[in-house]
Amino acid sequence: MTQSEFASQLQRYGPQREGLDRATPEEARQYCAQLARTHYENFTVGSCLLRKPLKQHFFNVYAYCRWADDLADEIQRPERAEELLNWWQIQLSDCYRGLSWHPVFVALQETIDEFDIPIDPFRNLLIAFRRDQQQKHYSTFSELLEYCRHSANPVGHLVLFLGHSYNSDNVELSDHICTGLQLANFWQDVCRDFRRGRIYLPRETIAQYNCNEAEFQMGRATEGFRQALEHEVARAEQMLERGLPLVERVDRSIRLEVDIFVHAGLAVLNAIRQCDFDVWSERPTIGRMTKARLLSGAIRRRWLGRVMRGAR
């Protein structure tokens, strides 16, 4: 969603409209579905395979995350963004009290009730979005992982709830995947984030490869920058690979989606390698052919898995 598009959404569904136009359940579901279908290039790869009873619930969760992310990223003044994130958290609390009016929360309330989802994953995401208003640089990789604990990992917990697969072992594997996906997105979007005043590449990594933040101003992939990014791409890849066993552990209802999410992250990292870590000249993305391969690969792995299990 562009800044102007989100401004229009905020005008229509923002705090000033609270309680005036309560969405009907059907309107709310349609709103969330439309939002999900028109955003996030990798989401549609998995959503086309979702079983029909789950699809709307994924859309509802995605709409919540999309709105929260846009409140953090598309509002120019940090203090205003924090105000709106606080408002969004109040709406979340009202949702758990059965007082929803915003279309996202009217739809989300159905999902929360259906899968008995606690408030913590939704609330934890807002911690990260508030942090984005206050912290623009990260000194160490450990500090960045702590950010991912709130910005990415709760999304995986929500997916596990939707797939009736939430347990401590699965949560650990899911956290590896979600952190790896978040890091892949950071390294894909170094240029975009820098324009917003944020540098996620840890200062310790930048220093290790004789790079410095002044080089970011040039918007050019120096040798030191390429080496620093290569180092972090490898760490993100390790995260995703560590989480890969989750694919065979979750319920069949979400197995294909988890498989695709992991391999989509790996494909993004490969795209960064293919452009020789020059994320300044062009944002590395995965095209339609790659998405088709992700889809066919996931289906093939599921088919082979069934054949192997039947042969035992």
Mean pLDDT over 296-304 rounds to 68
Say if residue 308's pLDDT is above 60: no
- 136-295, CATH topology level: Farnesyl Diphosphate Synthase (1.10.600)
Say if residue 310's pLDDT is above 60: no
Task: Just give the CATH number of 21-134.
Answer: 1.10.600.10
Please state the pTM of the whole predicted model. Answer: 0.90
User: CA 212 → CA 84, 196, 225, 279, distances in Å?
Assistant: 34, 18, 8, 16
Could you report the per-residue pLDDT of 31-65, keeping only the tens digit for each? 999 998 876 444 444 455 677 889 999 999 999 99
**Better pLDDT: 312 or 71:** 71
Q: Determine what percent of the chain is predicted with pLDDT higher than 90.
A: 72
Domains 21-134 and 136-295 share a fold: yes
pLDDT band at 239 (very low <50, low <70, confident <90, very high): very high
The full set of domain ranges for the chain reads 21-134, 136-295
Q: Are 290 and 260 in contact (CB under 8 A)?
A: no
Q: What is the DSSP letter of 199?
A: B
Mean pLDDT over 10-25 rounds to 81
* Relative orientation angle of helices 168-188 and 153-162, to the nearest 10 degrees: 130
Of 22, 107, 27, 25, nearest to 62 by C-alpha is 107
